[in-house]
Amino acid sequence: MCARVWKKRETGQFVIFSFVGDLAGRTTRILAVGLVALALAGCTGMNLFGPPKIREETIVPEATLYQEALNNMDNQRYLTAIELLERLERQHPRGQLTEQAKLMLVYANYRIGKFEEAILAADRYLALYPNGRDADYVLYLKGTSYFGQINDATRDQQLSRDAIDTYTQLIRNYPNSKYARDAQEKIAIAYDNLAAKEMSVGRYYLGNGQQSAAINRFRVVVEEYQTSTHIEEALYRLTEGYLSLGLLSEARTAAAVLGHNYPSSEWYQRAYNLLAEQGLSPQVNEGSWLAAQRN
């Protein structure tokens, strides 16, 4: 036990004062401060024992990395394959297999549904190899990455437009590509999705008594998406909308165009009956914008 002996001057007596408690408290405070400093060092990345050591990446031949990536893809281990391909790019940016590695990065990301990553990888490939031997395939994968995200006609359709633009670029630049036909078919589906969006909004406006706004939406379908599966309903909805506004000539023309192009359509029968209820029949007004829509 640590103690100090002090002599009281007044009486000459000796008094012992213990300071163990004071020493213990001071020690505790010092330890607490040290622990806080260590904690702060850990949070802020401080290294109290010198600069951190940088772990050097072992350089592996590009052929080895590429083959390992292919082996992993064969075994459905695409994430590992992507890591290997990115390492190849990093270690051999001007290697003989760099172009092929960039292509496989697009493919690997696409295969596991990482569409945004596939699109970025495609853009990197096309920026470096705009006329590369696999540029048509990269465009196809990019377009299909957009296409794969189209899942709801009620949402924003920018993905449909991006898919159409990419496929159109593929067909324009590589008309003889083996991917051109499938791209054309997917364009038709994407256009149909755009038409579905316009129809959805048009029906909403029509149901809320906003006939003019609805007509504008249906007109877009008739003028821009004539090959879509929604064209017949769009012509019927135009008949319905014009009739509710009292624009009888336009209503009759819409029904007549519908009957001319799709005489067996259920939508034409409905349009015909709708006019008949008003004592009207389908008839083309040659001055109407709809007259030009006859095939």
How many CB atoms are closer than 10 A to CB 7? 10
Q: Is residue 25 predicted with pLDDT exceeding 70?
A: no
Q: Are 144 and 260 part of one and the same domain?
A: no
Q: Are 26 and 74 part of one and the same domain?
A: no
Pure H helices in 148-230 = 158-173, 180-207, 211-224
Q: Are 75 and 178 part of one and the same domain?
A: yes
User: Within the chain, how many helices (H) and strands (E) appear?
Assistant: 12, 2
Domain that holds residue 287: 230-293
Q: Are 156 and 36 part of one and the same domain?
A: no
Q: Are 67 and 168 part of one and the same domain?
A: yes
Q: Are 36 and 68 part of one and the same domain?
A: no
Q: Are 7 and 108 part of one and the same domain?
A: no
pLDDT > 90 fraction of the chain, expressed in percent and rounded: 72
* Each residue's pLDDT tens digit, 167-202: 999 999 999 999 999 999 999 999 999 999 999 999
51 falls in which pLDDT band (50, 70, 90)? low
Say if CB 138 and CB 106 are below 8 A apart: yes
- Does the residue 163 lie in any domain? yes
Q: Is residue 253 predicted with pLDDT exceeding 70?
A: yes
Q: Is residue 47 predicted with pLDDT exceeding 70?
A: no
Q: What angle do CA 234, 235, 237 make, to 5 degrees?
A: 65
Q: Are 180 and 89 part of one and the same domain?
A: yes
Q: Is residue 38 predicted with pLDDT exceeding 60?
A: no
Lookup: tokens for 295: 């095939």
How far, CA to CA in Å, does 78 sit from each of 74, 84, 134? 9, 10, 20
* Each residue's pLDDT tens digit, 202-214: 999 999 999 999 9
Residue ending a domain, among 193, 220, 254, is 193
* Each residue's pLDDT tens digit, 131-163: 999 999 999 999 999 999 987 666 678 999 999
Report the alpha-carbon distance of residue 23 to residue 136 in Å, rounded: 79
Decide which of 105 and 2 is more confident. 105
Closest CA to 77 of 68, 87, 65: 68
Report the alpha-carbon distance of residue 168 to residue 163 in Å, rounded: 8
In this structure, what are the phi and psi dihedrals at residue 60, rounded to the nearest 5 degrees? Answer: -115, 140
Q: pLDDT at position 120, please?
A: 97
